[in-house]
Structures are given as structure tokens and as C-alpha cells.
Amino acid sequence: MTRYSIAAIPGDGIGPEVMEAVVHVLEALSDAQGGVCFDFVELQAGDGAKAETGMALPPGTLGAVERSDACLFAAVGETAKEVILPLRQGLDLYVNLRPAKVYPNVPHARGDVDLVIVRENTEGLYTRIGGRGPDWGVSLRVITRRGSERIARFAFDLAEREGRRRVTCVHKANVLDATCGLFVEACRDVAAEHPGIEYEEMIVDACAMRLILEPERFDVVLTTNMFGDILSDEAAGLIGGLGMAPSGNIGEGHAIFEPVHGTAPDIAGEGVANPMAMILSARMMLEWLEEREAAAALEEAVVEVLREGKTLTPDLGGSSGTGEGAASVSRRLAQKEF
Ligand code: IPM
Ligand code: MN
């Protein structure tokens, strides 16, 4: 039996609701599978933590995440940039992996979308270097060769590993020739090491449009931090919304898995948030932990529950609550043979 220590950051808004849901699902998985189990270490961060302790990211949280085998992060409100950005940068989680895939019974714009955004996660505009005076503001965009090469390598390795055929490098080098110019150059060099994978380049504004017109043509989208942020919400919009969009912040040896959605203050506390983005983030975590059988079982259980369509949350056109959706996934897991 492999025992994993999982740092759990519930955060604010719907965060604690979807965290509770995913913890139940992972417990059901471990009961059913027998080969894996989890010790959850709950950590404080976010608006609530700031109100209580004066710090959005209390000292110790980063260290505790570092000591864990992996981290599940639900959602943090107004203080997000004081929490998730220091975690990403402090642990050098340079990949933000954001799959966008259409699941059964999920209302979506177009069928057949199955793409993955590989977003650089430590550089670009997110270093937050800059300043402001009364009448001006400056945000410095930092791109390095090392940062660009390693994210490009991750994208091509992923394409090879997952049998994906094409990598699209998304940039704005026609205007941002210094930063995007360097990014594209690094991507081209890495592409040359992977002749088996088709490589193309696309300017970000054109990509934003083509994602709407022909999303099924995209496979691996490789891009810088801010472009990846924007395009991943757009991609979520194609596959049923943020309630269906998981992600992983991945580095060498550490990783934090979080739904792309935020705290959804409009529905917080009502128990109707879609737990699937959080559950699918846990599936990504299992894959990263190399618990492939467990990951596959969880994916299957989610597909079965969605296909059955009896416990969909309101964002998917149903009338079930967060807990009911998660309980259906747990029940399916309990019936699986491992
Ligand atoms: C995301 C979020 C964060 C980001 C914010 C909350 C700091 O939008 O994970 O996509 O911009 O990266
Ligand atoms: Mn975002």
C-alpha cells in the first residue's frame, strides 16, 4: 500500500465545498483500490487566513506543501496573487498544465475538443516586477531562454507521452519581438529535437479566434504565462465552463493541482458548485504520482457519472449539489475492480 501525504488548501468561497467533495472521492478510491491511501494535511491560505492571521499565505504553508507528496488547492479569493503566485514561483512550478476536453452530457460549444494548454507558469508578466506613480504604471515582461526551453521541452515530451501529434506555439512576436521573439526561438530549437511531432506557430489573437471557429484542430498549445491564462479560460468556455476545467502546477518534484475556477462568490455556501474540475485535478495528481490505474479508474467513474446524467450540478443543466455529484463518483469507484 502506498501512502501519500497530500497538502489540502481549501481556501475561500466554494473552495472548501469542492475540497470536501474531492477528499471524499479520494477516500472512496483508496477504500476501493487498496493500493493507495492518503493522509490529508489541511493548510490555511487566502482571504480567510488573512482576516484571521494577517497573512494570506501563513509562514509554514509553503514548507508544508514542499514536504507533502502533492498538493490539492481549491480556490482563493481577493488574495489569490498573494497565495498562488508565491506558491508557483517559490516551488518553481514552471508548468501550468490545463487540459480542455469535452465530457459526455456536458453542454458545450463544439464536439471533439481535446486539447491541452501548456502555460509557462513562472515568468512573463507574472513576475510582477514594475511600479506605478500617480499617472503611470509599468509591468515588466520577463522571458528567459531557460524558462522558455524548459516549458517547450515539457510540451513536446507530453505530446510524445500522450500520443498527441501537434504542438502550436502561441505568441505575439510580431509586436513583442524581444520577449515573444526569444520564446519562439527557444520553441523552434526544441521542436527541432522532436521531428516526430508537428510544430506550428500562431499569433495569439488569431489563436483566440481559431479556438472558437475550429477548436478540434488544436492539440498541444504551448504559450507564455499571461496568454495561457487567458486562452485557458477561453478553452474552458468551449467544453462546458470552468466547472469542468482542471489544472496542474508542475515542477521538478513538486506539484499543486487546482481547478481553473475561482471562488465563485455568487454561489459560495449554496452547495451547488460543480466538483468535477476539482475531482479532475485530483485525477491529474494521481497521474503525476504515477498512480495510473487509480487515475484511470477516477476518470472512468467521472465519465460514467456524467453519462448517467442524474447528479449534474446546475452549471451543467442539472439540479444536484456538490456533495451528490461527488457521492456518485465515489459510488462508481466502489464498484470498480482493480
Ligand atoms: C489562474 C488564475 C490566477 C492566474 C490568478 C488568480 C492569480 O486566474 O490560475 O488562471 O492569473 O494565474
Ligand atoms: Mn486564470
Say how far apart CA 277 and CA 279 lie, in whole Å.
Answer: 6
Whether residue 335 is predicted with pLDDT greater than 80 in this model: the reply is: yes
Tell me the residues surrounding ligand 2 (ion) with CB < 5 Å.
229
Average pLDDT, the chain: 97
The alpha carbon of 229 and the centre of ligand 2 are apart by a number of angstroms equal to: 5
Distances, alpha carbon 272 to alpha carbons 107, 125, 201, 267, 298, in Å: 17, 34, 40, 7, 21
Q: Is 172 a catalytic residue?
A: yes
Q: What string of DSSP letters covers 15-61?
A: HHHHHHHHHHHHHHHHHHHSSEEEEEEE---SHHHHHHHS-SS-TTH
DSSP bridge pairs for 168 = 200, 221
The alpha carbon of 71 and the centre of ligand 1 are apart by a number of angstroms equal to: 17
Find the ligand nearest to 128 CA. 1
How many CB atoms within 10 Å of residue 110? 14
Contact 229 CB / ligand 1 (< 6 Å):
yes
Strand order in the sheet with 95-101: 36-42, 2-11, 70-75, 255-257, 248-250, 95-101, 114-120, 220-223, 166-171, 198-203
Q: What confidence score (pLDDT) does residue 83 get?
A: 98
pLDDT in tens, 53-96: 999 999 999 999 999 999 999 999 999 999 999 999 999 999 99
Query: Is residue 192 classed as helix, strand or coil in its secondary structure?
Result: helix
Q: What confidence score (pLDDT) does residue 34 get?
A: 83
Q: What string of DSSP letters covers 256-273?
A: EE--S----TTTTTSS--
Whether residue 37 is predicted with pLDDT greater than 90 in this model: the reply is: yes
**Grid-cell match 468551449, residue found:** 238
Band (337; pLDDT cuts 50, 70, 90): confident
